[in-house]
Amino acid sequence: MRKLILAALLAGSTATPALAQEAAAPFTGLRVEGLVGYDTTDVEDEGSNGVVYGAGVGYDVQAGNVVFGADAEISKSTIDECFSGVTITGDELCAEAGRELTVGGRIGAVVSPSTLIYARAGYTNARINLEYDNPNGTSLDTVARETLDGIRVGGGVEQAIGGNAFVRGEYRYSNYEQGYDRHQAVVGFGFRF
């Protein structure tokens, strides 16, 4: 019986440092998350608003109070705007925000045992679907898909909540070629593995 108790104490004492290490670095590891938020675009002083939603995956490493990470995201927006009288009376040009792909990195500071403040930057690629409708019913009706490259910068706050779950709030700005940019304010919920 003594050997069994001694073995249990030994096993418990070797597991305790591993648990303490996980608690000491709550922002380390693989993470997955869903996000939703407000999306607004600006194309040469014409803007539209909608809801952005998507999913992301990333990996972070915490060294002391500093966190370094890399991530990727796919998202979609409800933005769909139409303009009339573009070239002739009665015509209509509609622009719909398509999927957006983003890869980048982030650096942050742990400001409490469960709170991280971070800044991010990376590459983003957005698809815009265009449809032009000519009222004359001629072959001038067109459908086009435009893919734009750009950069994204932003920052936010991540809060660890129980176990491996977290929530975060983030603002980000994306600037694309051809005078297109967007502002987004999102909230996310995810898990760290």
Q: How confident is the model at residue 22 (pLDDT cuts 50, 70, 90)?
A: very low
Domains and CATH numbers, the chain: 26-192 (2.40.160.20)
Residues pairing with 121 in the sheet: 105, 153
> Strand, coil or helix: what is 118?
strand
Query: Residue 1 pLDDT > 80, yes or no?
Result: no
d(CA 40, CA 79): 8
What confidence tens digit (pLDDT) does each residue in 83-107 have? 777 777 878 888 888 899 999 999 9
Q: What percent of the chain has pLDDT over 90?
A: 58
State how far the Cα of 54 lies from the Cα of 38, in Å rounded to an integer: 12
Closest CA to 64 of 118, 26, 31, 29: 26
Higher pLDDT, 49 or 1: 49
pLDDT tens readout for residues 116-132? 999 999 999 999 888 88
